[in-house]
Structure 1
Amino acid sequence: MQKLGTALSNMVMPNIGAFIAWGLLTALFIETGWLTGIFGSLDQPDSWVAHIGGWGEYSDGGIVSPMITYLLPLLIGYTGGKMVYDVRGGVVGAIATMGVVAGADVPMFLGAMIMGPLGGWTIKRLDGLWEGKIRPGFEMLVDNFAAGIDGLILAVVGFFGIGPIVENLTDWAGDAVDFLVDHDLLPLTSILIEPAKVLFLNNAINHGVLTPLGTNQALEDGKSILFLLEANPGPGLGLLLAFTVFGKGMAKSSAPGAAIIHFFGGIHEIYFPYVLMKPKLIAATLLGGMAGVFTNVIFNSGLRAPAAPGSIISVYAQTAGDSYLGVTLSVVIATAVSFAVAAFLLKTDSATDDGDLSAATASMESMKGKKSSVASALTGGAAGARGPIKNIVFACDAGMGSSAMGASVLRKKVQQAGFTDVTVVNKAIANLTDTFDLVVTHRDLTERAEQRTPSAIHVSVDNFMGSPRYDEIVETLTETNSAAPASIAVPAPGAAPVSGEPEPVHAAGRHAAAAGDATATRNDILALNSIVLRGTSRTADEAIEEAGRLLVAAGAVEESYVAAMHDRERSVSTFMGNGLAIPHGTNEAKGAINRTAMSFVRYDEPIDWNGKEAEFVVGIAGAGKDHLALLNKIAQVFLNKEDVARLRAARSPEEIRAVLADGDD
């Protein structure tokens, strides 16, 4: 249930901004909107307000109706397809969604949640059928026509099949909601919603079910009570206030800050550990939720669009013009009921303390499936620091060079410290997910990485090869990973290369039979005619150009890739330390790479590389992961003074390649 709910909510959550934009447009410009009485009126059907709102003489136009009919479902469909198969899946998912949009008379949010992932899944399977079987030069033709034909078929299926079915399901669900409202049974939904929130099904319920149904209702009535069933901050606020007054220990001291984050920030998950710590307190949020829903039923109040996050600010921003009193009372009464019940349960509790809040937070994170970005507000950072660090990622802009080298160096230090259960991988920042315990980046990229992985520990470096921060990371592992290392792991010859996917640092060495193939692959990547013993450049820009031209001459990259190497350098320096620079293109320039290759240039006079001296310049074009084994070797070479001396003394390209191939063997 959590996986399905998470998938549904993940299609909606990235597009909440669009829902808010639609809600504000509705609040401002419809016939009963805020601006209608100021800049226009119902007896002025030709006003600019009517033009935007799509009423009066402009009933066939405007912005409000097209947004909910086309934009929002297409965004959901694109997001769902992209979740399955990146941008290509998103495009086919959007095409497929257009079929259900055109085939139904109601906004197709549920239809988009079906067709979007279906479009991504089908094109992914189709691409797999002929992967590696298309003749060179015909790849783009096949890819584009496959996506177009797949999207066409799905759009037709959606138009005649899925769209009408989902429309009927939506009508039945709407009738069920109307039945609950008409018979004053809607408050009973809190019996399901409040426990489900604590079990981390809140986004699934709110954005997977209530948002689509509520949006349909708001389109007809101008507002919907469904937007307030889960988003009302009152039940959680009452619980946290009760802990503030009657709690004990860490729970009492952390509750005031948690209440502020919950009420104004809208992060409801911050109160879940308090309930998990004392499960009987679910009664407080349940009764508070019922009281809030009952109040909204009495006053017929609702919101124009989803309130996300569930902050009181978002709630008021989306409140319908005639619902401010009802919405305000629903929050106040829900808070009061929740507070009263929680206070009674806490006062009559025979326990001498409120339990282990850190353990409850860890339990919440386990159900959530990742670390909580607000956990430190509860435990003062203890929740994040109490657990061992198991996965480390070294991230850079493109994920093909700097991060691979840094990860290789750090991995070796982690291995030698004996932490054989810790993985060290490299990724592009754009591909980061908030699932890593520790993230290492160049200091210029740390802010971007923090946005992608807010719950991780972040370490900034500016010397990839010999940064003292690596030793600090090992010390951190010693402090956080309580179990003493079983043994000191010495890297085996041919140990697993740096990868963009998690691999255990104690991965087995390659078989001898595979070693010859690996050597051949490295020779193909670093050709002899791509090795220059005496570079002619005098500046960093010239050196980048020289290394890039060698890649172009080898047929590995297009001309545009060299410009991308300069762009990458202007963004973040590719100087690695120990006299080595590894210029490479940006993540967006990977399309200009024909095959994986490297170039190597040695300079008799070191080049000024942003204030550092670069004696060796290695140009990189990584189309896949097959260059990472050689990059791993290069990293080990430049950690060894004797190997660097051998590179300086080499008299031929063959000697250079031999040193780099030997690496740490």
Structure 2
Amino acid sequence: MNENIAASENQLNKNTKDTKEKIQSFGRFLSGMVMPNIGAFIAWGIITALFIPTGWRPNENLAALVGPMITYLLPLLIGYTGGKMVGETRGGVLGAVATMGVIVGADIPMFIGAMIMGPVGGYAIKKFDEAVEGKIPAGFEMLVNNFSVGIIGTIVALLAYLAIGPVVLGLNNVLRAGVEGIVNVGLLPLASLFIEPGKILFLNNAMNHGVLGPLGIQQVNEIGKSLFFLLETNPGPGLGILLAYWVFSKGMVKQSAPGAVIIHFLGGIHEIYFPYVLMNPILLLAVVAGGASGILTFSALGAGLVATPSPGSIFALMAMTPRGGYIPVLAGVIVSTAVSFLIAAYFIKRNNNKLDENELMEAKEKAVELKGKKSKLTVSRIIFACDAGMGSSAMAATNLKSKLRDVGLDIEVINTSINEIPKDAELVITHEGLSSRAKAIAKDAEHISIKDYFHDSEIDCLITRLQKKTNVAGNSEVSETEDNGILKKSNIKLNQKSVEKTEAIKMAGQLLVDSGYVDKDYIDAMLKREEQLSTYIGMGVAIPHGVGSSKSSIKKSGMVVLQFPNGVDFGEEKAYLVIGIAGSGNEHLNILSNIASALEDEEDVEMLKNTKNVEKIYNKFTAETM
């Protein structure tokens, strides 16, 4: 019976882990649709803040840009990006066409519709391309490619217009009705359950001017001010989200947040923070809690405005505040900002802490390739590129696929435009007049220049070479080996006395310096990285390393391991293994993959924490890389 219970618990844990991974993957997908277009949102926000009638520099002529940008441009960009993520460039085109279907006929910006239909369009063309792979006669590639996009685009656009659009509009109506119902029964803080998600769906104007505004005007006539004017226009929840991204995220998100703060809080354009929530929907909890806490504070202190602040900047709120009412209004904004910030910070930090784990997983996948799933002796994919990626390269790719099949080679061949050559391409074939452009894009790939797309001797030589290499790889029973200079036994230090976190990082950094892997200033870069985001990755392991700008301080890739049996405090967790990393290339990925594998086994983790034998750690981390 105990065995059955244990088995059930293991299955439950596995299911929970799988669910968490799916949620994280979904969040990363949403982020991938939104983040490349944040710059466009900021451009729209600046134009709006400047030129609308209540903006800083009202201009009726220039303000004409505002409506079309938010109605058409921004949803189409998201739809194109979502489609391209699923189905590459053709998927992007289908994603934009499908998004147009939800835009037409709607009186609100269709961002949710775009995030649905963009990937749907990309998925549709991807499945079609897979179905006809290798079945298109040479010379008909461009015809099939163009007409397939046109026909499938028609279908998905009609689907979006007739089905998806009405569903999203129906959801908007439900949210609006929810706000009206809660306001009518007097449960104002609960109104945030509808107001904040409704704002993200770009229902802010409908709720503010259609529901809350009329109620506020009536209340002003009775008592001279109204709380209703603060419910939707409070900038606190959005400010908390943007500040949390600014402090705890990294990369492009972190860099874009300060500009968004200015546009949102000072310019009053709340829409600027909506994409930051859309890319991580769990943050709806933060804005709802921030909005509710703000309403409670406004109510308790008797806050109110004399009219709707438009746009909803802190300056506009102050301008609409009656004499003597500034402290209650500011208090509500501050409280809602703090609550939203704290909740958002938790989720953003937790998400970012997965980044190092993701790096380990990528390293693990890379190591699998190096260990034989993708033999270095063979080519797994060939890129045929031409200027447009549709005509000559498509026909040449079809021709090469046929030749490879005839000699028994199962190698993927794809065609693309020069500008769309993948950065990780292994082998690229282009016309000699295009080779220089191709080499500038795929610098690490092998490039073959040809004069004739179909009968060039270089292609025949390539096929012969691939045959020979495949035979060598197939007959080889010994995988490629390389001397492991990344981790040395002398750089595994056991039974270290517990110290402060910064001291442990300095110890690891100094060991990297002494071993000739890095310059002295790399230690400061490791400490700076730790200040930005903890390098603790779970299971008692931390992997301190430098910030991205410290690459110039790395002489060669190397790793060191410090074992602290009693642990080192890394925030709320203890690290028993502190693994210093300096990576100048991909040489250290094999060892990172072994670390990732070891963390999946609790017995391995306990052994690594407590062993007195350097060989055990060395063998575990360098397994199959020697």
Measured against the shorter chain, the TM-score band is 0.3 to 0.5
Q: What TM-score results when the alignment is normalised by the length of structure 2?
A: 0.43
Q: What TM-score results when the alignment is normalised by the length of structure 1?
A: 0.41
